[in-house]
Amino acid sequence: MAASLLRLHFHDCFVNGCDGSVLLDGGEKNALPNLNSARGFEIIDSIKSNLEKACPGVVSCTDVLTLAAREAVYLTGGPYWSLAFGRRDGLTTSETAANEQLPGPFEPLDNITRKFAAKGLDTKDVVVLSGGHTLGFAQCGVFAGSGRPDPSLDASFLQSLQSTCPNRNESNSNLAPLDASSSKFDNVYYKLLVNSSGLLRSDQALMSDNVTGSMVVGYSKFPFLFYKDFGASMVKMAGIGVITGSNGDVRKNCRVVN
C-alpha cells in the first residue's frame, strides 16, 4: 500500500492544500483522478481509530496522512525527512477542484509545471516528486486508453506493454508496474526514463525538455541526491495551504466532519 498512501497525500495537498479533504466521503473521492483508483483510506481510518483511543481530539487526519506517506516511503527503502505537525482538517471537499487542480497522466509538461507552480512548487519539484512513481502500478486505462502509443517509447518496452494492455475495454483495469522494482523506493524510475521506458506519458515527457531531462539523468546516476531532494520536496508539499490554530477541525472520523 506504500504507493497508494504516498499518492493519497499528494492528491490531498494538491486540491486546496493539505487539509485531509481527500479523506472525506463524497467530493474529491468522486473526481476522475480518484474514482476507483485512490486507495488506502482504511489504513488511515485504522491509525486514526487507535490515536483517538490514546489521545482523543489531538492528531488531525491531515497529519496522520502526512506521516503515513513518509513512513510508506521510508519502509520501502526510501529517505526519511523531518516534518512539522499541527495541521488541522478542512471542512469541505470538492470534486470540481480535484478535477481541475490535479495533474493528469496525459497532460503536456507545460500544464503540469503550471499546476505545480500554482502550489508554490518549482520545476525541480516536478521532476523530484514524479520520482514517487518508483512505487506502485498504473491501470492500463490511465496510460493506454487512447490506443495510440507514445511515439518516444522504446520499441521492446512498447511491445511488452501491448501484451499487458491490449486495446480492449476489458483490459483497462489491468495493472502494469510503474517501474521494474515497483515495491521498492529507488531511482530505477529515472533509469527507465533515460531508456525511453517510462510508463506514463507525463513521466516520459520529462525527457523532452533540456532542463528536466538533465535532472532526470542526474537522478538516474546519483540515488542519494534523489533521496535528499525528494525529502526536501515532500516537506514543501506538506506545507501547501495548511490550516492551523483554531481554524478547521480535528476530525474524530476522517470520513466526515465533526
User: Residue positions in the annotated binding site for substrate?
Assistant: 103
- Give the DSSP H/E element, type plus range, for residue 177: strand 175-177
Which of the residues are catalytic?
Answer: 11
Q: Within the chain, where are the H helices? A: 2-13, 41-54, 61-75, 95-101, 109-117, 123-130, 140-143, 155-164, 188-194, 201-204, 210-221, 223-237
CA distances from 134 to 54, 186, 217 (A): 35, 6, 15
Binding residues for heme b: 133
- The Cα–Cα gap between 90 and 217 comes to 39
- The Cα–Cα gap between 244 and 12 comes to 16
- The Cα–Cα gap between 248 and 93 comes to 13
Of the candidates 182, 181, 175, the residue with the CA atom closest to the CA atom of residue 36: 175
Q: Residue 182: left if φ>0, alpha if ψ -120 to 50, beta else—which one? A: alpha
- The Cα–Cα gap between 9 and 250 comes to 17
Three cell numbers at 241?
Answer: 495551504
